[in-house]
A and B are shown apart, each in its own frame.
Chain A
Amino acid sequence: MSDMENRNTAFRAIIEEVARSLASVRHEGEASYVRTPILYPGGSLVVVRVEQAGRHYLISDMGLGFVEADQMGAEVSFGRTAPHIAEKAGIAFEHHSFIVKEVSRDQLVGAVATVAACSQEAVQITAMKLSERKTVDASERLYGRLIRVFTPAKVTRHAEVYGASNTPWSVAALVKSDDHQAVFEPVTDHPNSVASAVAKFVDLSQLDRPPARVAVVHDKKTFGTRLNLIASAAKVIEEGATDRMLERVADLQAA
């Protein structure tokens, strides 16, 4: 066997070992626990419990998805999301757990994969909602600052503004003077938040008389290259910006 063939054989053996290690099983008492390679947002691996019930099997995520959400303080949001996910997949959500009952031997692989996917998806969506809810908090804080700087009469909260595409956008705050407008939008470093804000800013920037566009972020450093994306269509300031800076980016005089 040539050196090349030896290297290939060794390489393939390593990769086969990796593939085997991606999923494993632990047997304990009446049940077996399948460790999948699927990750919750926090990095815990999804584990699915399989139990034999007569001629059928019962599959469950043991409430591990709920535990993940609970640790993030989002158990209520998870409780609202999970039943919909389960329904879409045709499985049950009971006692905080994704469950499939009366699974036949032929259906076992699909059932384990479905329960694992549902559990992960529910936590993922819950985490995204958490991110959106934090934006709401940031929106409240931003509004409070803007009315202090520009007076309440000039600031409209959750205003609707039309972009060049004629799409109506809801912006967190719109500040108006006689002949000028500025929109302020809190943005988190979550990709969805960035994508949504950039779409809005780009559309507004294409107007004949575009408003000043200001993205308010917690910490610019956490955005990486996504900061460039936002900055291509809006000015970016941090939440701790001074009043003077708010006036400057809005191109408006304070009260």
Chain B
Amino acid sequence: MTDIPTLIAARKTLTTIPEWTLQNDQFRLVATLDLDGVTLDGIWLRVTAYKAIPDRRVSFQIEFKPEGFRHIPAARVDWRPANPHSNRNIGPAHLRLMVIEGSHHHTFDANWPLGFERMVSENLPIAEPLVPDPRDFEGLLHLVGRLFNVDGMKGIAVPKWEPGLFDR
């Protein structure tokens, strides 16, 4: 496998238009990625959303699989999450101890220097606010495609949300 920072920085494309699956109350989607026409092994995009919660609590995560390990999160965008995020006193100086109330981006560049063991066991502990915060799902796809260097994101369908009385 090409080294991970190079893969993350490279312009990639969704291999196919991925379909949502509904598992319990969650929409899930996993999409393989192509680089120069070759489908990459050990790196994919994983997306989750909640059936009863439209336009909130959507996560896009790029994951990679180092030899001998399982898939590990490399970067994640949490759009309108249920809970705020607080950075610890680690990482880039301008992000330390920052509390982010809304949408945020756990960037690869900020978390990779921690080493992949901490990336997984601490679930990408460093985040920065998502700017601009997309107004809708289509805007989110566009932004995530830019942040993750992935083309073809607009092919992902808007989840068929069914707003419920309760979001658990």
Seen from chain A, the residues whose Cβ lies within 8 Å of a Cβ on chain B are 30-31, 33, 35, 39-47, 49, 51, 60, 62-64, 67-68, 70-73, 95-97, 127-128, 130-131, 134, 137-138, 140-141, 188-190, 218-219, 222
* Known interface pairs A44-B81, A218-B117; A71-B123 also in contact (CB < 8 Å): yes
| CA distance in complex: A127, B118 (Å) | 10
* Known interface pairs A44-B84, A97-B168; A137-B118 also in contact (CB < 8 Å): no
* Known interface pairs A73-B70, A141-B68, A189-B115; A41-B61 also in contact (CB < 8 Å): no
B83 to A45, Cβ gap below 8 A? yes
| CA distance in complex: A64, B125 (Å) | 16
| CA distance in complex: A70, B68 (Å) | 20
Main secondary structure of the interface of B (DSSP, over half): loop
State which of A30, A47, A70 has its C-beta within 8 Å of the C-beta of B82.
A47
State which of A35, A127, A138 has its C-beta within 8 Å of the C-beta of B121.
A127
A41 to B168, Cβ gap below 8 A? no
Seen from chain B, the residues whose Cβ lies within 8 Å of a Cβ on chain A are 24-25, 48, 59, 61, 63, 68-73, 76, 81-88, 99, 114-115, 117-118, 120-127, 165-168
| CA distance in complex: A83, B72 (Å) | 25
| CA distance in complex: A222, B120 (Å) | 14
State which of B70, B117, B123 has its C-beta within 8 Å of the C-beta of A68.
B123
A138 to B120, Cβ gap below 8 A? no
State which of A30, A97, A131 has its C-beta within 8 Å of the C-beta of B117.
A131
| CA distance in complex: A68, B165 (Å) | 24
B125 to A43, Cβ gap below 8 A? yes
The smallest beta-carbon distance between B21 and chain A, in angstroms, is 14
The smallest beta-carbon distance between A115 and chain B, in angstroms, is 12
**A residues near B59, Cβ cutoff 8 Å:** 67, 71
